[in-house]
Structure 1
Amino acid sequence: MGLLALFRRKPHERAGFELYGAAVAAARHPCFFDVLGVPDSLDGRFDLVGLHVALIIRRVRKDADPRGPALAQAVFDAMFADMDINLREMGVSDLTVGKRVKKMWEAFHGRAQAYEAALDAGDAAAMAAALHRNVWRAEGAASPAAHRLAAHALRGSAALAAQPIEALLRGEARFPAPEETADAA
Protein backbone atom coordinates (compact mmCIF):
# COMPACT_ATOMS: atom_id res chain seq x y z
CA MET A 1 0.00 0.00 0.00
CA GLY A 2 1.38 3.36 -0.98
CA LEU A 3 1.44 6.41 1.24
CA LEU A 4 -1.37 8.07 -0.72
CA ALA A 5 -3.70 5.18 0.09
CA LEU A 6 -3.72 6.38 3.69
CA PHE A 7 -5.36 9.64 2.61
CA ARG A 8 -8.03 8.25 0.29
CA ARG A 9 -11.64 8.48 1.33
CA LYS A 10 -13.52 5.27 1.93
CA PRO A 11 -16.33 4.47 -0.51
CA HIS A 12 -19.50 6.32 0.44
CA GLU A 13 -17.79 8.18 3.30
CA ARG A 14 -19.20 11.57 2.31
CA ALA A 15 -22.70 10.17 1.73
CA GLY A 16 -22.50 8.35 5.07
CA PHE A 17 -21.76 11.59 6.89
CA GLU A 18 -24.53 13.39 4.99
CA LEU A 19 -27.08 10.69 5.86
CA TYR A 20 -25.93 10.72 9.47
CA GLY A 21 -26.37 14.50 9.47
CA ALA A 22 -29.93 14.09 8.15
CA ALA A 23 -30.67 11.65 10.97
CA VAL A 24 -29.26 14.04 13.58
CA ALA A 25 -31.28 16.94 12.16
CA ALA A 26 -34.47 14.85 12.24
CA ALA A 27 -33.74 13.71 15.81
CA ARG A 28 -33.38 17.30 17.01
CA HIS A 29 -36.97 18.26 16.21
CA PRO A 30 -38.30 20.09 19.28
CA CYS A 31 -41.53 18.08 19.23
CA PHE A 32 -39.73 15.01 20.55
CA PHE A 33 -38.72 16.87 23.69
CA ASP A 34 -41.58 19.36 24.09
CA VAL A 35 -44.59 17.23 23.13
CA LEU A 36 -43.46 13.63 23.59
CA GLY A 37 -41.34 14.29 26.65
CA VAL A 38 -38.18 12.55 25.50
CA PRO A 39 -35.57 13.46 28.12
CA ASP A 40 -33.45 16.33 26.83
CA SER A 41 -30.27 14.67 28.04
CA LEU A 42 -27.26 12.96 26.55
CA ASP A 43 -29.12 9.64 26.72
CA GLY A 44 -32.35 11.01 25.28
CA ARG A 45 -30.58 12.67 22.38
CA PHE A 46 -28.48 9.54 21.75
CA ASP A 47 -31.64 7.43 21.62
CA LEU A 48 -33.36 9.71 19.11
CA VAL A 49 -30.27 9.92 16.91
CA GLY A 50 -29.88 6.14 17.18
CA LEU A 51 -33.50 5.58 16.13
CA HIS A 52 -33.16 7.74 13.03
CA VAL A 53 -29.75 6.27 12.13
CA ALA A 54 -31.16 2.75 12.55
CA LEU A 55 -33.94 3.63 10.10
CA ILE A 56 -31.42 4.81 7.50
CA ILE A 57 -29.09 1.87 7.98
CA ARG A 58 -31.98 -0.59 7.69
CA ARG A 59 -33.18 1.12 4.50
CA VAL A 60 -29.88 1.10 2.65
CA ARG A 61 -28.70 -2.27 3.94
CA LYS A 62 -31.84 -3.99 2.68
CA ASP A 63 -31.78 -2.37 -0.74
CA ALA A 64 -31.16 -4.63 -3.72
CA ASP A 65 -28.37 -2.30 -4.86
CA PRO A 66 -25.04 -3.94 -4.03
CA ARG A 67 -23.72 -0.61 -2.72
CA GLY A 68 -26.32 -0.60 0.06
CA PRO A 69 -24.35 -2.51 2.71
CA ALA A 70 -21.26 -0.35 2.18
CA LEU A 71 -23.37 2.78 2.52
CA ALA A 72 -24.94 1.38 5.69
CA GLN A 73 -21.44 0.83 7.09
CA ALA A 74 -20.46 4.38 6.14
CA VAL A 75 -23.46 5.76 8.08
CA PHE A 76 -22.54 3.63 11.09
CA ASP A 77 -18.91 4.76 10.88
CA ALA A 78 -19.99 8.41 10.67
CA MET A 79 -22.18 8.05 13.75
CA PHE A 80 -19.47 6.55 15.89
CA ALA A 81 -16.76 8.89 14.63
CA ASP A 82 -19.06 11.71 15.76
CA MET A 83 -19.69 10.01 19.12
CA ASP A 84 -15.92 9.75 19.64
CA ILE A 85 -15.43 13.43 18.85
CA ASN A 86 -18.32 14.51 21.07
CA LEU A 87 -17.04 12.52 24.04
CA ARG A 88 -13.62 14.10 23.66
CA GLU A 89 -15.16 17.58 23.43
CA MET A 90 -17.13 16.84 26.61
CA GLY A 91 -13.84 16.19 28.36
CA VAL A 92 -13.84 12.40 28.52
CA SER A 93 -10.24 11.29 28.83
CA ASP A 94 -8.51 9.62 25.91
CA LEU A 95 -8.07 6.47 27.99
CA THR A 96 -11.81 5.99 28.49
CA VAL A 97 -13.23 7.23 25.18
CA GLY A 98 -12.81 3.83 23.55
CA LYS A 99 -14.65 2.06 26.36
CA ARG A 100 -17.50 4.59 26.29
CA VAL A 101 -17.81 4.35 22.50
CA LYS A 102 -17.91 0.55 22.76
CA LYS A 103 -20.76 0.77 25.29
CA MET A 104 -22.59 3.17 22.99
CA TRP A 105 -22.07 0.81 20.05
CA GLU A 106 -23.46 -2.10 22.06
CA ALA A 107 -26.48 -0.03 23.12
CA PHE A 108 -27.10 1.11 19.55
CA HIS A 109 -26.75 -2.41 18.17
CA GLY A 110 -29.27 -3.86 20.63
CA ARG A 111 -31.75 -1.09 19.97
CA ALA A 112 -31.34 -1.32 16.19
CA GLN A 113 -32.03 -5.06 16.30
CA ALA A 114 -35.20 -4.54 18.37
CA TYR A 115 -36.40 -1.75 16.07
CA GLU A 116 -35.64 -3.74 12.93
CA ALA A 117 -37.53 -6.78 14.20
CA ALA A 118 -40.57 -4.63 14.97
CA LEU A 119 -40.37 -2.83 11.61
CA ASP A 120 -39.92 -6.07 9.66
CA ALA A 121 -43.02 -7.47 11.36
CA GLY A 122 -44.95 -4.21 10.92
CA ASP A 123 -45.62 -4.42 14.65
CA ALA A 124 -46.28 -0.93 16.00
CA ALA A 125 -46.91 -2.30 19.51
CA ALA A 126 -43.50 -4.03 19.60
CA MET A 127 -41.86 -0.85 18.34
CA ALA A 128 -43.63 1.18 21.03
CA ALA A 129 -42.54 -1.30 23.70
CA ALA A 130 -38.91 -1.14 22.53
CA LEU A 131 -38.98 2.67 22.47
CA HIS A 132 -40.66 2.84 25.90
CA ARG A 133 -37.93 0.62 27.33
CA ASN A 134 -35.02 2.36 25.59
CA VAL A 135 -35.92 6.02 25.26
CA TRP A 136 -37.74 6.49 28.53
CA ARG A 137 -35.94 3.67 30.41
CA ALA A 138 -39.38 2.53 31.61
CA GLU A 139 -40.93 -0.83 32.33
CA GLY A 140 -44.50 -1.97 31.83
CA ALA A 141 -46.99 -1.02 29.15
CA ALA A 142 -45.80 1.43 26.53
CA SER A 143 -46.82 5.02 27.16
CA PRO A 144 -48.88 7.07 24.70
CA ALA A 145 -45.70 9.01 23.88
CA ALA A 146 -43.92 5.74 23.02
CA HIS A 147 -46.80 4.81 20.72
CA ARG A 148 -46.55 8.18 19.02
CA LEU A 149 -42.79 7.82 18.58
CA ALA A 150 -43.37 4.32 17.19
CA ALA A 151 -45.86 5.73 14.68
CA HIS A 152 -43.25 8.32 13.71
CA ALA A 153 -40.64 5.56 13.23
CA LEU A 154 -43.02 3.58 11.03
CA ARG A 155 -43.75 6.70 8.94
CA GLY A 156 -40.01 7.38 8.74
CA SER A 157 -39.30 3.85 7.59
CA ALA A 158 -41.97 4.11 4.90
CA ALA A 159 -40.69 7.53 3.79
CA LEU A 160 -37.13 6.23 3.49
CA ALA A 161 -38.32 3.15 1.59
CA ALA A 162 -39.95 5.44 -0.98
CA GLN A 163 -36.73 7.38 -1.57
CA PRO A 164 -34.55 6.13 -4.44
CA ILE A 165 -31.22 4.54 -3.57
CA GLU A 166 -29.49 7.00 -5.91
CA ALA A 167 -30.58 9.91 -3.70
CA LEU A 168 -29.40 8.08 -0.59
CA LEU A 169 -26.06 7.35 -2.26
CA ARG A 170 -25.71 11.12 -2.75
CA GLY A 171 -26.35 11.55 0.98
CA GLU A 172 -29.91 12.82 0.59
CA ALA A 173 -32.57 11.56 2.99
CA ARG A 174 -35.86 13.10 4.06
CA PHE A 175 -37.65 12.20 7.28
CA PRO A 176 -41.25 13.16 7.95
CA ALA A 177 -41.78 15.74 10.67
CA PRO A 178 -43.16 14.30 13.89
CA GLU A 179 -46.81 14.91 14.77
CA GLU A 180 -46.78 18.04 16.91
CA THR A 181 -50.26 18.31 18.34
CA ALA A 182 -50.96 16.78 21.74
CA ASP A 183 -53.85 14.71 20.34
CA ALA A 184 -52.07 13.46 17.18
CA ALA A 185 -51.43 9.77 16.95
Structure 2
Amino acid sequence: MGLLALFRRKPMERPGFLLYTAAVTAARDPWFFGPAIGVPDTLDGRFDLVGLHVGVLIRRLHRDPDPRGAEAAQAVFDAMFSDMDMNLREMGVGDMSVGKRVKRMWEAFHGRAQAYAAALDAGDRAALEAALARNVFRASGPDAAAAIGAPALAAHAERVAQALSAQPTAALLRGEASFPPTPGAAAAAASPDAA
Protein backbone atom coordinates (compact mmCIF):
# COMPACT_ATOMS: atom_id res chain seq x y z
CA MET A 1 0.00 0.00 0.00
CA GLY A 2 1.41 3.33 -1.04
CA LEU A 3 1.53 6.45 1.07
CA LEU A 4 -1.31 8.07 -0.91
CA ALA A 5 -3.63 5.21 0.06
CA LEU A 6 -3.49 6.44 3.65
CA PHE A 7 -5.06 9.74 2.60
CA ARG A 8 -7.77 8.39 0.29
CA ARG A 9 -11.31 8.44 1.54
CA LYS A 10 -13.22 5.22 1.77
CA PRO A 11 -16.04 5.10 -0.80
CA MET A 12 -18.77 5.08 1.85
CA GLU A 13 -17.19 7.61 4.19
CA ARG A 14 -19.21 10.61 3.01
CA PRO A 15 -22.53 8.75 2.68
CA GLY A 16 -21.92 7.25 6.13
CA PHE A 17 -21.40 10.71 7.59
CA LEU A 18 -24.55 12.04 5.89
CA LEU A 19 -26.62 9.10 7.15
CA TYR A 20 -25.25 9.56 10.66
CA THR A 21 -26.08 13.28 10.51
CA ALA A 22 -29.66 12.47 9.49
CA ALA A 23 -29.98 10.08 12.44
CA VAL A 24 -28.62 12.70 14.87
CA THR A 25 -31.02 15.31 13.51
CA ALA A 26 -33.95 12.92 14.01
CA ALA A 27 -32.77 12.09 17.55
CA ARG A 28 -32.69 15.77 18.55
CA ASP A 29 -36.42 16.35 18.14
CA PRO A 30 -37.66 18.12 21.32
CA TRP A 31 -40.65 15.74 21.49
CA PHE A 32 -38.40 13.03 22.97
CA PHE A 33 -37.53 15.23 25.95
CA GLY A 34 -41.04 16.55 26.56
CA PRO A 35 -43.81 15.10 28.72
CA ALA A 36 -45.01 12.60 26.10
CA ILE A 37 -41.77 10.60 26.27
CA GLY A 38 -39.67 12.07 29.06
CA VAL A 39 -36.21 11.04 27.91
CA PRO A 40 -33.76 12.74 30.27
CA ASP A 41 -32.22 15.76 28.55
CA THR A 42 -28.72 14.72 29.59
CA LEU A 43 -25.62 13.48 27.80
CA ASP A 44 -26.75 9.92 28.48
CA GLY A 45 -30.28 10.59 27.27
CA ARG A 46 -29.04 12.21 24.07
CA PHE A 47 -26.54 9.39 23.49
CA ASP A 48 -29.32 6.83 23.90
CA LEU A 49 -31.57 8.57 21.37
CA VAL A 50 -28.76 8.89 18.85
CA GLY A 51 -27.89 5.24 19.49
CA LEU A 52 -31.50 4.17 18.92
CA HIS A 53 -31.77 5.98 15.58
CA VAL A 54 -28.31 4.90 14.42
CA GLY A 55 -28.96 1.33 15.54
CA VAL A 56 -32.20 1.10 13.54
CA LEU A 57 -30.43 2.65 10.54
CA ILE A 58 -27.53 0.19 10.75
CA ARG A 59 -30.02 -2.67 11.05
CA ARG A 60 -31.66 -1.52 7.80
CA LEU A 61 -28.33 -1.32 6.00
CA HIS A 62 -27.22 -4.76 7.20
CA ARG A 63 -30.49 -6.31 6.03
CA ASP A 64 -30.03 -5.03 2.49
CA PRO A 65 -29.12 -7.69 -0.09
CA ASP A 66 -26.68 -5.24 -1.70
CA PRO A 67 -23.25 -5.98 -0.17
CA ARG A 68 -22.57 -2.25 -0.07
CA GLY A 69 -25.22 -2.01 2.65
CA ALA A 70 -22.84 -3.58 5.17
CA GLU A 71 -20.10 -1.20 4.05
CA ALA A 72 -22.44 1.77 4.53
CA ALA A 73 -23.44 0.45 7.97
CA GLN A 74 -19.78 0.35 8.98
CA ALA A 75 -19.32 3.89 7.67
CA VAL A 76 -22.26 5.10 9.80
CA PHE A 77 -20.78 3.38 12.83
CA ASP A 78 -17.35 4.93 12.12
CA ALA A 79 -18.91 8.40 11.74
CA MET A 80 -20.76 8.00 15.05
CA PHE A 81 -17.72 7.06 17.06
CA SER A 82 -15.49 9.60 15.38
CA ASP A 83 -18.08 12.19 16.43
CA MET A 84 -18.22 10.79 19.98
CA ASP A 85 -14.43 10.98 20.23
CA MET A 86 -14.40 14.57 19.01
CA ASN A 87 -17.24 15.60 21.35
CA LEU A 88 -15.48 14.12 24.38
CA ARG A 89 -12.32 16.02 23.51
CA GLU A 90 -14.29 19.25 23.05
CA MET A 91 -15.85 18.71 26.48
CA GLY A 92 -12.36 18.62 27.95
CA VAL A 93 -11.98 14.91 28.58
CA GLY A 94 -8.27 14.19 28.79
CA ASP A 95 -6.52 12.37 25.96
CA MET A 96 -5.60 9.47 28.23
CA SER A 97 -9.22 8.66 29.11
CA VAL A 98 -10.96 9.39 25.79
CA GLY A 99 -10.17 5.94 24.40
CA LYS A 100 -11.56 4.18 27.48
CA ARG A 101 -14.74 6.24 27.44
CA VAL A 102 -15.28 5.69 23.72
CA LYS A 103 -14.79 1.96 24.25
CA ARG A 104 -17.47 1.97 26.99
CA MET A 105 -19.78 3.93 24.69
CA TRP A 106 -19.15 1.44 21.89
CA GLU A 107 -19.98 -1.47 24.20
CA ALA A 108 -23.16 0.26 25.39
CA PHE A 109 -24.23 1.06 21.83
CA HIS A 110 -23.49 -2.45 20.60
CA GLY A 111 -25.55 -4.10 23.33
CA ARG A 112 -28.46 -1.72 22.86
CA ALA A 113 -28.43 -2.00 19.07
CA GLN A 114 -28.49 -5.80 19.30
CA ALA A 115 -31.42 -5.76 21.74
CA TYR A 116 -33.41 -3.31 19.60
CA ALA A 117 -32.68 -5.21 16.37
CA ALA A 118 -33.66 -8.55 17.92
CA ALA A 119 -36.97 -7.11 19.15
CA LEU A 120 -37.70 -5.43 15.81
CA ASP A 121 -36.79 -8.58 13.86
CA ALA A 122 -39.12 -10.65 16.03
CA GLY A 123 -41.90 -8.07 15.95
CA ASP A 124 -41.83 -8.20 19.74
CA ARG A 125 -43.11 -4.83 20.97
CA ALA A 126 -42.92 -5.90 24.64
CA ALA A 127 -39.22 -6.79 24.29
CA LEU A 128 -38.53 -3.50 22.53
CA GLU A 129 -40.32 -1.54 25.26
CA ALA A 130 -38.41 -3.42 27.96
CA ALA A 131 -35.06 -2.76 26.25
CA LEU A 132 -35.88 0.94 25.90
CA ALA A 133 -37.08 1.18 29.52
CA ARG A 134 -33.89 -0.46 30.73
CA ASN A 135 -31.47 1.49 28.53
CA VAL A 136 -32.99 4.88 27.84
CA PHE A 137 -34.86 5.38 31.11
CA ARG A 138 -32.59 3.23 33.34
CA ALA A 139 -35.77 1.62 34.71
CA SER A 140 -36.01 -1.92 36.00
CA GLY A 141 -38.74 -4.29 37.01
CA PRO A 142 -41.65 -5.76 35.05
CA ASP A 143 -43.83 -2.64 35.22
CA ALA A 144 -41.13 -0.06 34.48
CA ALA A 145 -41.87 0.24 30.75
CA ALA A 146 -45.56 1.03 31.27
CA ALA A 147 -44.87 3.83 33.72
CA ILE A 148 -42.64 5.87 31.40
CA GLY A 149 -42.35 6.79 27.74
CA ALA A 150 -41.06 3.41 26.55
CA PRO A 151 -44.30 2.44 24.74
CA ALA A 152 -44.36 5.66 22.71
CA LEU A 153 -40.62 5.42 22.03
CA ALA A 154 -41.02 1.79 20.91
CA ALA A 155 -43.82 2.82 18.52
CA HIS A 156 -41.54 5.52 17.13
CA ALA A 157 -38.68 3.02 16.66
CA GLU A 158 -41.03 0.74 14.74
CA ARG A 159 -42.09 3.66 12.51
CA VAL A 160 -38.42 4.47 11.88
CA ALA A 161 -37.67 0.84 10.97
CA GLN A 162 -40.64 0.73 8.57
CA ALA A 163 -39.75 4.06 6.96
CA LEU A 164 -36.13 3.10 6.46
CA SER A 165 -37.00 -0.32 5.04
CA ALA A 166 -39.16 1.38 2.39
CA GLN A 167 -36.35 3.67 1.24
CA PRO A 168 -34.42 2.65 -1.86
CA THR A 169 -30.95 1.26 -1.38
CA ALA A 170 -29.52 3.61 -3.99
CA ALA A 171 -30.62 6.66 -1.99
CA LEU A 172 -29.20 5.28 1.25
CA LEU A 173 -25.89 4.53 -0.46
CA ARG A 174 -25.77 8.19 -1.52
CA GLY A 175 -26.26 9.20 2.11
CA GLU A 176 -29.94 10.09 1.79
CA ALA A 177 -32.16 8.86 4.61
CA SER A 178 -35.53 10.22 5.62
CA PHE A 179 -36.61 9.61 9.20
CA PRO A 180 -40.34 9.86 9.91
CA PRO A 181 -41.50 12.88 11.89
CA THR A 182 -42.31 12.40 15.53
CA PRO A 183 -45.92 12.89 16.63
CA GLY A 184 -44.82 16.19 18.16
CA ALA A 185 -43.33 17.42 14.87
CA ALA A 186 -46.41 16.25 12.94
CA ALA A 187 -48.71 18.09 15.35
CA ALA A 188 -46.60 21.24 15.11
CA ALA A 189 -46.68 21.10 11.30
CA ALA A 190 -50.47 20.69 11.32
CA SER A 191 -50.98 23.60 13.73
CA PRO A 192 -52.30 26.82 12.11
CA ASP A 193 -49.65 28.74 14.08
CA ALA A 194 -46.83 26.66 12.51
CA ALA A 195 -46.44 29.04 9.57
- Normalising TM by the smaller chain, what interval? over 0.9
Distance in 2 (CA, whole Å) between partners of 1:71 and 1:103 is 23
Shift in Å at residue 66 of structure 1?
A: 1.1
Shift in Å at residue 3 of structure 1?
A: 1.5
Segments of 5+ residues of structure 2 without an aligned counterpart are 188-195
The residue that corresponds to 1:104 in the other structure is 105
- After TM superposition, the structure 1 = structure 2 runs for residues 171-182 of structure 1, keeping only pairs within 5 Å, are 171-180=175-184
Distance in 2 (CA, whole Å) between partners of 1:29 and 1:90 is 22
Shift in Å at residue 11 of structure 1?
A: 2.2
Q: What SS class does the counterpart of residue 100 from structure 1 fall into?
A: helix
C-alpha RMSD of matched pairs (Å): 0.9
Distance in 2 (CA, whole Å) between partners of 1:117 and 1:60 is 15
Distance in 1 (CA, whole Å) between partners of 2:156 and 2:62 is 20
Amino acid at match of 1:24: V
Amino acid at match of 2:156: H
Shift in Å at residue 5 of structure 1?
A: 0.7
The residue that corresponds to 2:16 in the other structure is 16
Residue by residue, what CA displacement relative to the aligned partner does 1:78-122 show, whole Å, maximum 9, x if unpaired?
Answer: 000000000000000000000000000000000001000100001
Distance in 2 (CA, whole Å) between partners of 1:74 and 1:66 is 13
Count of aligned pairs between the two proteins: 181
Amino acid at match of 1:178: T
The residue that corresponds to 1:120 in the other structure is 121
The residue that corresponds to 1:33 in the other structure is 33
Distance in 2 (CA, whole Å) between partners of 1:178 and 1:126 is 21
Distance in 2 (CA, whole Å) between partners of 1:159 and 1:75 is 18
Segments of 5+ residues of structure 1 without an aligned counterpart are none
Distance in 1 (CA, whole Å) between partners of 2:53 and 2:13 is 18
Amino acid at match of 2:127: A
Among all aligned residue pairs of Structure 1 and Structure 2, give the percentage whose two residues are the same amino acid: 71
Shift in Å at residue 137 of structure 1?
A: 0.3
TM-score, with structure 1 as normaliser: 0.96
